[in-house]
Amino acid sequence: MTSLTVPGPLAATPGSGWRKTKDRIATTVIYACVLVALVPLVWLLWTVVSRGLRGITGDGWFTGSQRGLTYRDAGGGALHAIVGTLEQVALCTVISVPIALLVAIYLVEYGRGPLARATTFMVDILTGIPSIVAALFIYAVFVTSFSGQRAGWLVSLALVMLMIPVVVRTTEEMLRLVPNELREASYALGVPKWKTIVKIVLPTAMSGIMTGIVLGVARVAGETAPLLVLVGYSPNDNNNLFSGPQGSLPGMIKDQFGNLGSTTILRGGHKVSVHYAADRMWAAALTLILLVMALNLLARLIASRSKVSS
């Protein structure tokens, strides 16, 4: 007797070979897309790190300024620019975060009807405002109308308009992710609504809110248009946010870029051509990236401490 094996219902059917092929094609395409997306990112990081490393490890990078230096001079530091950027971004953050958090809380916890819809609409519009327009607006209000002087704090004000929508959006998303059951649990304990928001909702969403704030900081720290319009650039130390031209990292990058040039020096008995300004430009770019990264890490640290680890 020969036994015939009858193909069971689980055996491969004629169509399943094609299905596996489709699966392989889709997998390949997805991995290829990931690679394509990664290439420019890695390339950019590599370029900035490889060209900027020499500059930021040089003497006095974190202690000196660019006072009196031209593209023919070596060295100099970025302290004036780091201080300027930190001050401007710090003032911007201090103004933006409370406003943005309150707007987001209003939209998620209280907002009903036309006012909420109008607010959402305005935030949407604000998200799309180019930084140069925000800068011109601040210039028109404070310099033209009130005949004020250009200074660092005006940059902060322009950046506020760029930062608020970013923080509102992310905070809104994070607050909506907090399950309603937690709010109800708190109400059922006889906790008033405002306290429920402050003590239950915000802490639960805190790590996400922190990420949103860092995104906002990263967005504004590299803005250049408001600097050009509202404060200019100074190669000298100026720690005063309220008076005079001030250095900043994007300003420094732009300044060095505008003065690129090579100079010839003697090194070991040979004439070599060096590019001091280009080195400093890349070093300033790397410093800006490191600054944003450091803020990111700091925010994550704060967020992870504010929450019980689970």
Partner 1 sequence: MAKRIDARNLNIYYGKFLAVADVDFTIAPRSVTAFIGPSGCGKSTVLRTINRMHEVIAGATVQGELLLDGEDIYGADVDPVNVRRTIGMVFQRPNPFPTMSIYDNVAAGLKLQASRMKRSDLDVVVEKSLRAANLWDEVKDRLAKPGAGLSGGQQQRLCIARAIAVEPQVLLMDEPCSALDPISTLAIEDLIQSLKQKYTIVIVTHNMQQAARVSERTAFFNLAGVGKPGQLVEIDDTQKIFSNPRERRTEDYISGRFG
For partner 1, the binding residues (CB under 8 A) are 112, 179, 181-192, 195-196, 199-200, 203-204, 206, 307-310
What minimum distance in Å lies between the beta carbon of 212 and partner 1? 18
Give CA–CA dist 65/80, Å, rounded.
5
First-to-last alpha carbon distance for the chain, in angstroms, is: 65
Q: Please say which residue, 197 or 288, places its beta carbon nearer to partner 1.
A: 197
Identity of the residue, 129 or 185, whose beta carbon is nearer to partner 1 in the bound complex? 185
Give the integer Cα–Cα distance in Å for 166 and 189.
Answer: 34
The nearer residue to partner 1, 22 or 305, going by C-beta atoms, is: 305
Shortest Cβ 309–partner 1 spacing (Å)? 7
3-state secondary structure of 147: coil
Provide the minimum distance between the beta carbon of 127 and partner 1 in the complex, in angstroms, as a whole number.
27
Owner of token pair 């300044």: 255
With respect to partner 1, which residue has the nearer C-beta, 15 or 113?
113
Q: How far is the CB of 174 from partner 1 (least distance, A)?
A: 13
Q: How far is the CB of 3 from partner 1 (least distance, A)?
A: 47
- For residue 124, give Cα distances in angstroms to 8, 51, 165, 282: 58, 38, 7, 34
Closer CB to partner 1, 120 or 262, in the complex: 120
Taking the complex as a whole, the smallest distance from the CB of residue 184 to partner 1 amounts, in Å, to 6
Q: Which amino acid is at 173?
A: E
Task: Give 6 or 188: the residue with its C-beta nearer to partner 1.
Answer: 188
Within 13 Å, how many C-alpha atoms sit on residue 119's CB side? Answer: 20
